[in-house]
Amino acid sequence: MTLTPISSWASFGGTLSVHDHDSEACNGPMRFAVYTPPQARTGPVPVVWYLSGLTCNWSNVMEKSGLQRVASELGLMVVAPDTSPRGQDVADDEGYDLGQGAGFYLDATEAPWAPHFSMETYVTQELPALVAAHFPADMTRQGIMGHSMGGHGALTLNFRHPGRYASVSAFAPIVAPTKVPWGQKALKAYLGDECPAWGEHDACELVRRQPTDQMILIDQGGADQFLDEQLRPELFEAACREAGQPVTVRRHPGYDHSYWFIASFIEDHLRHHARALGVGD
């Protein structure tokens, strides 16, 4: 449970810090970032997990979204893990959508991925224990959010771990990985040829089995280059209607898949989480 500090910066009265540690789940070194708001000086604060998308790591959201200003105001700790294990001994692929940078927030069962790619265990068990041990985090109040592949992770981990997260939201999530090329490639590689296990990591399948009373917030750019082939939010909307799952899907003309899109609406998402976690206005 030892952390190695890498960097630290003061920001809006709080602290953004980056840490390395040896991960048992991923069988090697992992890196993550934490924004600790100023309210944490007087006691534990709620935690929002931010899961990034393909090719990203902790730095994308922490450096490009501007979340620190609002998280400071609301008193939210935001934790950004990496998107996969990394290193010379970690399996990889020539494509950007598989391997290092593309863990898909599941535990791989197939070679050569299984020895390191246990991202579900890492995000839901190992990293929370580490954060609880080293930061003033109120682990009874957790939310989860993410972008693209990370939006897939936020939705599926929320359904797969009922009661863990009080709030959930996503930017341009992959909602039906069993039906789109990104997801089919990853699921086949990590879990094997199409099998029941695929549906265990598909938000559309999971919501039909076990809807919640949470209001899920999703923002989607209308000019997103991946909208029609890879994201397909209409499938999740239909599944939610069938299941009686509360969901708000907001479509924004002109916005694409980039962090300019995320920066435009990150405040709305943090306030969505803060209301469910009992802080802020």
pLDDT of residue 195: 83
CA distance 173 to 179: 13
Contact by Cβ (8 Å): 189, 100: no
Sheet holding 4-11, edge to edge: 4-11, 14-23, 28-36, 77-81, 45-51, 137-147, 167-171, 216-221, 247-252
pLDDT of residue 281: 65
**What are the tokens at 272?**
């969505």
pLDDT of residue 169: 98
Q: Which domain range does residue 273 map to?
A: 4-277
What is residue 229's DSSP assignment?
I
CA distance 126 to 37: 22
Cβ-based neighbours of 23, under 8 Å, separated by 6 or more: 29, 30, 85, 122, 126
Strand partners, 146: 51, 170
Contact by Cβ (8 Å): 106, 160: no
8 included as an active-site residue: no
Task: Give the global pTM.
Answer: 0.97
148 included as an active-site residue: yes
Strand partners, 4: 20
pLDDT along the chain (281 residues), means of 10: 94 98 98 98 98 98 98 98 97 97 98 98 98 98 98 98 97 98 98 92 97 97 98 98 98 98 98 94 65
CA distance 36 to 45: 9
Count of structural domains within the chain: 1
Given the residues 116, 152, 257, 273, select the one marked as catalytic: 257
CATH value at residue 272: 3.40.50.1820
Q: Which of 275, 230, 268 is nearest to 53 (CA)?
A: 230
Given the residues 148, 167, 202, 272, select the one marked as catalytic: 148
Given the residues 202, 224, 269, 273, select the one marked as catalytic: 224
224 included as an active-site residue: yes
Contact by Cβ (8 Å): 26, 116: yes
